[in-house]
Amino acid sequence: MNLPRIIIAGTHSGVGKTTLTLGITSALKKRGVNVQAFKAGPDYIDPAYHSQASGKLCGNLDSWLLSKDVLRELFARRAEPAEISIIEGVMGLYDGLKDSEQGSTAHLAKILNSPVILILNARSLSRSAAAIALGYKKFDPGVDIAGIILNNIASKRHYNYIKSAIERKTRIPVLGYLPGDHHLKISERHLGLVPVTEKKVIGAFRGILAKSVSANINLTKLLAIARQAKPLPHSREIIFKKELPKGRVTIAIAKDKAFHFYYQDNLDILKHLGAEIVTFSPLRDRELPKGIDGLYIGGGFPEVFASDLSKNASLRQSIYQKAKDGLPIYAECGGLMYLVKNLIDFQKRKFPMVGVFKCSVNMGNRLHRMGYVNVQVIKDNILSNQGDRNRAHLFHWSRLTNIPKNSTFAYRIIKDKDNLFYDGLVTKNVLASYAHLHFASNTDFAKNFINSCRINRDSAHFFSVR
C-alpha cells in the first residue's frame, strides 16, 4: 500500500520535534495539502496540537503497547485519505524501552517502512553536527534517515557551514532550518507542553511558525521524500473488523480543560463496538447527561483546576450517586484523582473531590512514576478478568495517600523485577487506575466495558418494571 509518509525524529528529547511537526503541518495546509498527523508513543498533549493544525484527529502509534499488525491497521485507516502523513517521533530516535528498540521511533519507522527526517539542535555547533548525524546514520542501517532539519540556527552563514559538513560526510540532504527564536517555542509545565485547550494564541503562533518553515525549509523536497516511501507492509484487520453491535449503549466522556487525555482510537473503538459517545464537562455541567449507561473519565490536569472542580458540588454528588447505584465507571489517572475524597495540590491546599474512594491524592514536586509497565489483573473488573496480563503506561506526579486498609485493587503492576506495586482501585462497577490503557492493545477492554454497561442497564430496567 503506497501511503506518502515521513517520521519527524529527534536526536534527543527537547530538540524541537513538536514545533517542527506543527510548523510543517501548518505550512503544508496553507499550500492546500491534505495532511494527516500522528504521534509516536504514549502522548496526549502533542496530538491535540497536531489535530488542530491538520484539521484531522491525530492518532497515536506505540510500538510497545501495540502489535505490528495493529499499528499498521491504525496507521492505514487514518492515512489513506491523506496526501501525506506526518508522524512525530518520541524522545531520541533510538530511545526505546530500557536498552532495547521497542517503543522507539526507530522501531516504528521500520514497522511502517517510513523515511525519517532527523531534527538536530545546532545551537553552539558547527562541523561537529556532521559527526552526530553520521553516528545516527550508522547506528542502525535499517532506519532510513532521508533528510535532516537543523534547529536553533544563529545565521544563514552558520546554517551553510553545518549543511555543507553534514552532506559531505553523510550524503543525507539537509532540508532547511529554524532560527533560534524564542517566539517559535511552545510553553511547558510539569507534564510537558501546556495543552492546546488552554492556549488562546495558538492560531497566531501556528501562523508565525508556518511562515518560518515555508521560508527556511524545502517543503517540495520533503514531500518528494514522503512520496518515495516504500509500500506499507500488509497487515491483518484486527481492530475495525465488521461486527454487528449487540444493542447500543451510551457512554459519557468527561471532556474539558481539566480532562482531555484520551487516545482517539479508544473512543473510535468504543463507537465501532456499539457505543454512542456523549461528552460533558466536570467544570461546567451541574449534572451528568441523561440516559447514560457508562462513564469514562480520562486523564488531564485536575490539579490545575481543583478549585473549580471542587466548587461544582452538584456534579460531584451526581457522579457519587451513580457510582453507588452501580453505573460502570472507568477513570484513568486524572480521572482517578477526581474520584478520591480529597486532592491536595502543589501548594498543599486541600480540595474535596467526588469521594467514591476514601483516600486522597497528593501532588509531588517530581514525577512519582513514569514508563511502560506490565499489568497482572488480580480482580475481575469492568475492563478485564482476573488472570489477564496487559501492557500499560504510567506518567504521574501525584500519589495516593490515606488509603483505607479494606481498599481493593484490580492490578498488580510490574515495572521490573524489583519494582512491584498495586493499582486500579475497585468498588462495585467502578475502576480507577493510574495506568493508561490503549484499547487496541487488547480488544477485550472495550468489549468488556460495553458489556458491563449493557448488563447494568438491562438489570436496572428489569428491576424497575417488576
- Does the pLDDT of residue 424 top 50, yes or no? yes
CATH of segment(s) 5-227: 3.40.50.300
What's the rounded mean pLDDT across residues 364-373?
Answer: 89
Domain range list for the chain:
5-227, 249-465
What is the CATH number that goes with domain 249-465? 3.40.50.880
The residues near 309 (Cβ < 8 Å, ≥ 6 apart) are 258, 282, 283, 302, 316, 338, 343, 351, 353
Angle at 7 between CA 158 and CA 108, to 5 degrees: 135
**CA gap 106, 453 in Å, rounded:** 40
Which of the residue ranges 15-24, 102-111, 294-303, 411-420 would you say has the lowest mean pLDDT? Answer: 411-420
Work out whether the CA dihedral 132, 137, 139, 144 comes out positive or negative.
Answer: positive
pLDDT for 196 equals 65
CB count, 10 Å around CB of 371?
Answer: 15
Average pLDDT of span 66-87: 97
* Contact status, residue 116 vs residue 7, Cβ threshold 8 Å: yes
415 and 373 in contact (C-beta within 8 Å)? yes
Amino acid at position 210, single letter: A
pLDDT at 258: 97
Structure confidence by residue, pLDDT tens digits, 344-363: 999 999 999 999 999 999 99
- Residue 455 in this model has a pLDDT that exceeds 60: yes
Compute the mean pLDDT over every residue in the chain, rounded to the nearest whole number.
Answer: 93
pLDDT value of residue 338: 98
Tens-place pLDDT, residues 139-164 = 999 999 999 999 999 999 999 999 99
Q: What is the pLDDT of residue 463?
A: 46
Of 118-127, 297-306, 418-427, the one with minimum mean pLDDT is 418-427
Q: What percent of the chain has pLDDT over 70?
A: 93
In whole angstroms, give the CA distance from residue 349 to residue 272.
42
Long-range CB contact pairs, 419-425, < 8 A, 24+: 423/375, 424/379, 424/381, 425/336, 425/339, 425/357, 425/359
Task: Quickly state the pLDDT bin for 237 (edges 50, 70, 90).
Answer: confident
Query: Among 67, 15, 62, which Cα is nearest to 395's?
Result: 62
DSSP string, 283-336: TT-SSPPTT-SEEEE-EE-TTTTHHHHHH-HHHHHHHHHHHHTT--EEEETHHH
Q: What is the dihedral of CA 252, 255, 260, 263, to 10 degrees?
A: 40
Task: Name the band, by pLDDT with cuts 50, 70 and 90, for residue 181.
Answer: confident
- The answer to whether the CB of 357 falls within 8 A of the CB of 340 is yes
**pLDDT greater than 50 at residue 466:** no
Give the per-residue pLDDT at 465. Answer: 41
Strands 84-88 and 174-179: unpaired
Catalytic residues: 333
pLDDT single digits (tens) 7-66: 999 999 999 999 999 999 999 999 999 999 999 999 898 999 999 999 999 999 999 999
Sign of CA dihedral 61, 193, 397, 14: positive
Read off the pLDDT band of 201 (50, 70, 90).
very low
Domains 5-227 and 249-465 share a fold: yes
The SS3 assignment for 41 reads coil
Higher-pLDDT residue of 242 and 338 is 338
Q: Is the pLDDT of residue 383 over 90?
A: yes
Strands 84-88 and 192-193: unpaired
333 band by pLDDT with thresholds 50, 70 and 90: very high
Residue with cell 468489549: 447
Of 89-98, 165-174, 197-206, the range with the lowest mean pLDDT is 197-206
> Is the pLDDT reported for residue 290 higher than 70?
yes
* Average of per-residue pLDDT across 247-266: 95
